Amino acid sequence: MSNTNAAGMEKMQKSMAVYIKSLSKRNEVDDKEKVLPVAYLGQTMLNHGEDFEPDSEFGNCLIGRVTNCCFAGDSANRE
């Protein structure tokens, strides 16, 4: 497993644990900004997806999941 993949998977696991712990409770994340766990997980997935090369199937899958699920109304504006 590459360093990029391992580090990103670790970050996603951390944010998933926060997400599972509480879906409605606001949590403090790394930058001390208050966000919902689902937003923290989505942002982590998006950031990790962007760590990969543009032709990476895994990276594009992460970006696509977040874009399709969380930004459905804004997907045309993300380019």
Domain boundaries, the chain: 3-71
Output 30 or 66, whichever has higher pLDDT: 66
- Measured distance CA(38)–CA(20) in Å, rounded: 9
The pTM (predicted TM-score) of the whole model is: 0.51
pLDDT tens by residue, 36-51: 777 788 888 888 999 9
Question: Is the pLDDT confidence value at 34 over 60?
Answer: yes
Which DSSP letter does residue 36 get?
A: -
Question: Is the pLDDT confidence value at 73 over 60?
Answer: no
H/E stretch holding 45? helix 37-50
Whole-number Cα distances in Å, 68 to 9, 11, 20, 50, 79: 20, 21, 20, 15, 14
- Tell me what the mean pLDDT of segment 53-71 comes to: 83
